[in-house]
Amino acid sequence: MRAVVEGRKSLLPAGIAEVEGDFTAGDPVELRDTAGRAVARGLVNFDAKELPQLLGRSTRDLARELGPAYEREVVHRDDLVLLHG
């Protein structure tokens, strides 16, 4: 989450530890830090049911294994807003 908050980067699968809730691609989601505090909100590029298999993995590895559609951000920096700072 540091890359999103401090580096103003996109959220990639490698940076996600857990997924909660039911959502579909294009829905607004809340991004939380390890303490559970909401730090950002953004539009997600995957359905909730797709994400568990992607967690902690690089987009390059995902693209190689699952195809080019998986070489993308979970939440692109252009589609997110930081809640603090």
What structural domains does the chain harbor?
A: 2-82 (2.30.130.10)
Q: What are phi and psi of 63, to 5 degrees?
A: -65, -40
Section 54-71 average pLDDT: 93
Q: Name residue 11's beta-bridge partners.
A: 75
Share of the chain above pLDDT 90, in %: 86
Task: Name the nearest CA neighbour of 16 among 8, 44, 6, 7.
Answer: 44
Residue 41 — very low, low, confident or very high, per pLDDT cuts 50/70/90?
Answer: very high
pTM of the full structure? 0.90
Q: How far apart are CA 74 and CA 84, in angstroms?
A: 20
The single-letter code of the amino acid at 85 is G
The single-letter code of the amino acid at 35 is A
Q: Name residue 31's beta-bridge partners.
A: 40
pLDDT at 30: 96
pLDDT over threshold 80, residue 1? no
Q: Name residue 75's beta-bridge partners.
A: 11
Residue 85 — very low, low, confident or very high, per pLDDT cuts 50/70/90?
Answer: low
